[in-house]
Amino acid sequence: MSNNYYKKIAIIGAGSYGTAIAQCFSARSPEILLISDLKSLEESINFRNTSATALLNPNISCSTDFSRAKDADIIFIAVPVSAVADVCHQLREHHMKNPVVLCSKGLDIVSTRLISDLVQEIIPNDVAVFSGPSFAHEVIRGLPFGVNVASEKSALAEDIAVRLHHDKFVLKPLRDHIGLQIAGAFKNILAVGCGIFGGLKLGNNAAAQLMVNGLGEMIALTQAMGGQKDTFWELGGVGDIILTCTSRQSRNVSFGEHLAIGGTIDNWNGSLAEGAFSAKAIPAFEKKFQVDLRIFHWIHEVIYKEERPSSSVVPKLFAPLEN
């Protein structure tokens, strides 16, 4: 280990993704602290070095005491989007000024904005965004992967990349936190659409066109919000879209297939797909930024208005965009 590393990294959220990146980061930091609200997980990790799914490196510990994150060099937030605000309020209550890295992918559906905007309204900390193709079950096994890290303060993103990368982990810094967040949230919604197309037996060719057209809508929205088109050629852009939209292991794809055969969000038995939650924000983002998001709007209607999925919608979805 070189001298250029974080002495202590705290990760708020000890679910599958938080635990996976803890295992990854443990190769570059002598102390990794997971914060969880589960006493049983705290005991399992601290006494047996085991999570629910894997044997963890011995420099990983877990605590239910939020205040123990205060002396960390940097804090990663790896909780569902719906819990991010609560985490930030706790950071403020404990007067934690540490740099914060958001791993949560989604949108602030109440105020029609990015999650980083919500975070910076609550806390004054420097904030970065961490996103890219990184299924937790592969990361925790030590398989190679890469993601992007972006921040309005480019020096922060560059510092994180230098301190955390290793031979099985590529971390590329970007300046565009807007595009990276749009890609991270919207690729989950697009994956639901790909699942619907798969359930309708429309074929791989149609699914490929859905992904390309959906990518175009994401770029148009990003530019309307002040982000950069080039972000979408990065790992956190097209890389994450390919993984999430084509993998049979994607909960979002499975949820879309469920909708295609007549299922609804109310009778879905799996864990809630992130794309379903983010899709709630689509009409508001369309209206606020005046962007043609017809593919994402259609997915929203299927989920929340129970529009019957049908191949008859394809010509409308694939017509030239108005953006």
The catalytic residues are: 187
Scanning the structure block, which residue is given the tokens 């959906």? 214
What is the rounded CA–CA span in Å between residue 162 and residue 83? 29
Contact between 71 and 95 under an 8 Å Cβ cutoff? The reply is: no
Using only C-alpha atoms, what is the Rg of the chain?
20
CB crowding 120-137: b at 16 or more within 10 Å, else e: bebbebbbbbbbbbbbbe
Q: Which residues contact 96 (CB under 8 A, 6 or more apart)?
A: 69, 70, 75, 125
Structure tokens at 314: 């394809």
Structure tokens at 201: 């037996």
CA proximity to 108, closest of 127, 121, 95, 93: 121
Provide the residue type at 9 as one letter.
Answer: I
